[in-house]
């Protein structure tokens, strides 16, 4: 991605307006969540890509299907794994 440098300003209420070029390039709209990371004198703002539980677990479900696992197999598998850690 091409580098883009803009200057913003903090309001009396501590709010910062993200310049429109940056908002547009990052797809930031009202309600988009961002993460703030402060390290020494550097503040990093990163967009958070929210995913549903179904999206997050999709690779796990596909792997289980490929392995021939069924939902009713899960409790026994959990018990075996816990027993092996004792």
Task: Write out the residue range of the structural domain in which residue 25 sits.
Answer: 1-49
70 token code pair:
């069924």
pLDDT at 36 over 70: yes
The arithmetic mean of pLDDT across residues 47-65, rounded, is: 90
Q: How far apart are CA 66 and CA 69, in angstroms?
A: 8
Q: Residue 1: its pLDDT value, please? A: 67
Q: What mean pLDDT is reported for the chain?
A: 90
16 with 8: CB under 8 angstroms?
A: yes
Same domain? 40 vs 11: yes
Q: Residue 49: its pLDDT value, please? A: 86
pLDDT category, 86, cuts 50, 70, 90? confident
Same domain? 31 vs 71: no
Same domain? 24 vs 41: yes
Q: Tell me how many domains the chain contains.
A: 2
SS3 content of the chain, % helix, strand, coil (to 5): 40, 15, 45
Model confidence, pTM: 0.53
pLDDT at 85 over 90: no
CATH number at residue 41: 2.10.260.10
């Amino acid at each position: 991605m091409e580098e883009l440098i803009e200057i913003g300003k903090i309001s009396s209420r501590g709010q910062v307006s993200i310049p429109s070029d940056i908002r547009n390039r990052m797809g930031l709209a009202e309600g988009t969540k961002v993460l703030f990371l402060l390290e020494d004198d550097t503040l990093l703002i990163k967009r958070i890509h929210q995913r549903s539980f179904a999206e997050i677990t999709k690779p796990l479900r596909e792997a289980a299907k490929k392995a021939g696992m069924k939902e009713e197999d899960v409790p026994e598998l959990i018990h075996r794994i816990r027993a092996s850690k004792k």
